[in-house]
C-alpha cells in the first residue's frame, strides 16, 4: 500500500509566527497532492493543492512546497492565527481515484 507519513505528530507555535508542517510520500508516480485541514468534529477541508509539475504554490497565507527528488511535501502557514489550530493532513494520488492520506499533524497556536 501507499505510505504517506508526517515528520511530527504535534506542533505548537506562537500566534503570529510561521508554521511549517512536513510530509513524506513514497509513491514516485503520485502526481497530485493536497493539504487538508480538519477541525475538531468536522470533516477535512481543502487548503491548497499542487501538481507534480510544480515546486511551489502559494495561496492566502499558505504555501506548499514539493520536492520530488526526496518525495517531500511541506505546508507553510504565515502569521499563524488561533483559528489555524487543527489537524493537517497531506494526501497524494497516483491515479486520481484513490487519495492516500498521512496520519496528520496537530497544530496548536499559542495566543
Partner 1 sequence: NAGVTQTPKFQVLKTGQSMTLQCAQDMNHNSMYWYRQDPGMGLRLIYYSASEGTTDKGEVPNGYNVSRLNKREFSLRLESAAPSQTSVYFCASSTQGLNTEAFFGQGTRLTVV
Nearer to partner 1, 89 or 109 (CB): 89
Interacting residues with partner 1 between 11 and 70 (CB under 8 A): 31-32, 34, 36, 41-46, 49, 51
Q: Pairing relation of β-strands 10-14 and 105-110?
A: parallel
The Cα 94–Cα 106 span in angstroms is 26
Of 14-22, 63-71, 77-85, 88-96, the segment contacting partner 1 by CB under 8 A is 88-96
Beta bridge partners of 109: 13
Beta bridge partners of 21: 75
Nearer to partner 1, 10 or 18 (CB): 10
Amino acid at each position: 500500500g501507499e505510505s504517506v507519513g508526517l515528520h511530527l505528530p504535534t506542533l505548537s507555535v506562537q500566534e503570529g509566527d510561521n508554521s511549517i508542517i512536513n510530509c513524506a510520500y513514497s509513491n514516485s508516480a503520485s502526481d497530485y497532492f493536497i493539504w487538508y485541514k480538519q477541525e475538531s468534529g468536522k470533516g477535512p477541508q481543502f487548503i491548497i493543492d499542487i501538481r507534480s509539475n510544480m515546486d511551489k504554490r502559494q495561496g492566502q497565507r499558505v504555501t506548499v512546497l514539493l520536492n520530488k527528488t526526496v518525495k517531500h511535501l511541506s505546508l507553510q502557514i504565515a502569521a499563524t492565527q488561533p483559528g489555524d489550530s487543527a489537524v493537517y493532513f497531506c494526501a497524494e494520488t497516483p491515479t486520481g481515484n484513490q487519495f492516500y492520506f498521512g496520519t496528520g499533524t496537530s497544530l496548536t497556536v499559542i495566543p
